[in-house]
């Protein structure tokens, strides 16, 4: 596969640079109705747009990646999707990477349609990375792998998620490995096909989603790609859990927090303080010299 587009550096290199300068926090933009009401905004596309503007003002220039949750835009129809187009532009203007949390997944020419929607230069919904769902097989997502690699964008494939209902399927046995491990292995195989040119140590463009709360996480040591890790904070996991599960991939892991930041809104300064505190805590702990006693 090609290592990137003509005009954009590969996603792995861009992610590594963003993590190096801004820490490893990925903050969500989740304008669900209860939060809109708590912020005194309308439960409509205009409310979603204003929620997103304030969120970006609070942390768009602080974090390496911002993750809009597509469902909360889509529920307002075309007007909500128009608000999402604005948010994706706003994330780029703030110097962060956009991770569109859409969990799309289909086959063949239909998957190619989703790839054009989210990963094609010039698409109104183009993002830096997209979350995708592999129920139809990781191979069914190949149009997205190709589109992402060709445009300097990335993917995060759901592997082992933190919700309790996910266990039976993701732990099911598929040819000697769990489904979750098979997904990681198939993604790793695709990273191995990427020509990294003069930057051989950078992560590949293809990542996985693994929850920080699970006690049966797949091995990530041969992924050579990014990890998107929810579960820290409100769901009970710590940064140390994230570091343990990610192993050597921790250096290119985005630790996702959303509600913990957003519930400090609508005050922009208050959200900003929460993000600064979390960024600092993650850095200190990751270096192993935090107050939690890690050696």
Positive or negative CA dihedral for 99, 26, 212, 75? Answer: negative
Instruction: Give yes or no for a cis peptide into 266 (omega within 30° of 0).
Output: yes
67 is catalytic: no
Q: Which of residues 206-235 bind its own copies (CB under 8 A)?
A: none
By the rule CB under 8 A, 125 interacts with its own copies: yes
Longest dimension (CA), the chain: 52
Closest distance to its own copies from the beta carbon of 113 (Å): 3
Name the active-site residue from 8, 22, 103, 263: 103
Helix or strand or coil: residue 209? strand
* H/E segment holding residue 68: strand 65-68
Find the part of the chain contacting its own copies (CB under 8 A) among 3-11, 17-25, 160-168, 279-287.
160-168
Helix or strand holding residue 132 (H, E): strand 129-132
Phi first, then psi: give them for residue 288, nearest 5 degrees.
80, 15
Question: From the CB of 76, what's the least distance to its own copies, in Å?
Answer: 8
CB of 188 to its own copies, least distance (A): 16
SS3 at position 140: helix
Per-residue contact track with its own copies, 176 to 205, x per CB under 8 A?
---x--x-----------------------
Q: Which stretch binds its own copies (CB under 8 A): 14-22, 111-119, 242-250, 266-274?
A: 111-119
Taking CA atoms, 285 is separated from 24, 217, 243, 281, in Å, by: 12, 21, 9, 6
Interaction pattern, residues 247-286, with its own copies; x per rule: CB under 8 A: ----------------------------------------
Residue 197 burial class via C-beta count within 10 angstroms: exposed 0-12, middle 13-18, buried 19 and up: exposed
Which residues on neighbouring strands pair with residue 256, listed in sequence order?
26
Backbone φ and ψ for 104, nearest 5 degrees, come out as -75, 155
Decide if 151 contacts 119 (C-beta within 8 A): yes
Question: Applying CB under 8 A, which part among 12-20, 92-100, 158-166, 285-293 lies near its own copies?
Answer: 158-166
Residue numbers 13-72 binding its own copies by CB under 8 A: 30, 32, 69, 71-72
User: Which of these segments, 90-98, 162-170, 247-255, 264-272, binds its own copies (CB under 8 A)?
Assistant: 162-170
Mind telling me the catalytic residues? 103
Binding site for its own copies (CB under 8 A): 30, 32, 69, 71-72, 74-79, 81-82, 84-85, 101, 103-114, 116-117, 120, 123-125, 133-140, 158, 161, 163-175, 179, 182
């Amino acid at each position: 596969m090609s290592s990137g587009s003509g005009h954009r550096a590969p996603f792995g290199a861009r992610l590594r640079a963003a993590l190096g300068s801004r820490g490893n926090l990925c903050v969500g933009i989740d304008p669900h109705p209860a939060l809109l009401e708590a912020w005194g905004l309308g439960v409509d596309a205009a409310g979603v747009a204003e929620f997103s503007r304030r969120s970006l003002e609070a942390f768009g220039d602080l974090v390496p990646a911002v993750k809009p949750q597509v469902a909360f835009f889509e529920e307002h129809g075309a007007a909500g999707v128009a608000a999402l187009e604005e948010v994706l532009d706003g994330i780029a203007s703030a110097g962060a990477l956009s991770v569109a949390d859409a969990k799309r997944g289909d086959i063949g020419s239909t998957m190619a349609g989703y790839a054009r929607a989210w990963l094609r230069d010039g698409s109104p919904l183009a993002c830096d990375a997209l979350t995708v769902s592999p129920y139809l097989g990781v191979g069914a997502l190949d149009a997205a792998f190709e589109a992402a690699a060709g445009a300097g964008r990335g993917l995060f494939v759901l592997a082992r998620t933190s919700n309790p209902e996910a266990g039976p399927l993701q732990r099911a046995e598929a040819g000697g490995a769990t489904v979750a491990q098979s997904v990681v292995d198939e993604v790793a195989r695709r990273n191995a096909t990427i020509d990294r040119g003069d930057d051989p140590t950078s992560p590949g463009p293809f990542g996985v989603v693994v929850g920080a709360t699970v006690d049966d996480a797949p091995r990530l040591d041969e992924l050579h790609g990014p990890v998107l890790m929810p579960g820290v904070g409100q769901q009970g996991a710590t940064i140390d859990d994230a570091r343990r599960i990610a192993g050597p991939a921790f250096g290119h892991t985005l630790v996702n927090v959303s509600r913990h930041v957003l519930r400090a809104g609508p005050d922009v300064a208050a959200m900003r303080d929460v993000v600064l505190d979390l960024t600092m805590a993650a850095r200190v702990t990751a270096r192993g010299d935090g107050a939690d006693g890690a050696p």
